[in-house]
Amino acid sequence: MSGSPDPAADLRPLHRAVLDTATEVVGRVRPEHLGLPTPCAAWDLGELVAHMTGQNLGFAAAARGQVTSAADFAPRPVGDAPGAGFAASVREVAAAFAEPGVLTRRFALPELGPDVTVRGRRGIGFHFVDTVVHAWDVARSLGTTVSFPAEILKPALEIARAVPGGAARERPDAAFGPVRETPATAPGSAPTLDQVLALLGRSPAWPERDRPHGDHPYGDRPHGA
C-alpha cells in the first residue's frame, strides 16, 4: 500500500465515526450468530469478530509503541457477549489514536513483515479502511447492510485503490483476493462502497455471488485463505 490519500490528512475524526458504526453493527451479534458465514471466506462470524477485536487491540498497542510481535494482533476470545468485548477494544484503539504526537509516531506492524514500521497517519489509514470493510462484512453476515457518508467513503476508496494488485493476489497465502472484475471496479460506475469492496476482493452482492478470496486490506493472512 502506498499510503494514505493525503499525506497531510488527519483521518482520526472519520476513523472515530467508522468505529462507532462498527460498534453498532457488532453490537447486533448474538451467540447464536457466531457460526454464520461471512464475506471473509475463511472465517465464520465469531472468528471475524475475534479478529476485529484483536486488530483493535494490536493497533492500540502499536500506537503506544508497545508492540513486540504479531501476537499482539491475534484474535481475542469472543465469549457470550461479542459486542461488549469489541466495544472495549474500540475504546482502547480510539484512546490510543487520540494521544498527542500519534500522527508522526512509528507504528510497528509485524503482520506486514519483520521490523516493518509505518508513520502513524498511514497506520491509521490502514485501520480506517479495514474497519469500513469489516463493518460491512458483519452486517452482510447478519443479513443486513451498512452505509457510510461520502466524507468517509472518499478516502476509503483512495486507500483501496493504493493497495497493490497483480499476481501476488493469486497466491494461496495472499493477504486479500484479486480485484473483482465487476462494474464496481470502474470509477464512478457503482456506489463508492461497492467500489471499495470490489477493489479489496469482495463481491458487493455477497452472498448472492461467489464469495471473495482473502481478506485483510493491509496485510493480514486469514487462516490460509
Q: How confident is the model at residue 111 (pLDDT cuts 50, 70, 90)?
A: confident
> Which three cell numbers, joined as nine digits, stand for 82?
461479542
- What's this model's pTM, rounded to 2 decimal places? 0.86
Angle, CA 58 vertex, CA 82 and CA 207 arms, to 5°: 50
Give 78-97 pLDDT, tens digit per residue: 999 999 999 999 999 999 99
Is the separation of the CB atoms in 132 and 18 below 8 Å?
yes
Smallest CA-to-CA distance from 171 within 137, 221, 207 is with 221
Note the pLDDT of residue 84.
96
Give 13-68 pLDDT, tens digit per residue: 999 999 999 999 999 999 999 999 999 888 999 999 999 999 999 999 999 999 99
Is the separation of the CB atoms in 198 and 185 below 8 Å?
yes
Give 131-188 pLDDT, tens digit per residue: 999 999 999 999 999 999 999 999 999 999 887 777 766 665 555 667 776 665 555 5
**CB atoms near residue 187 (< 10 Å):** 9
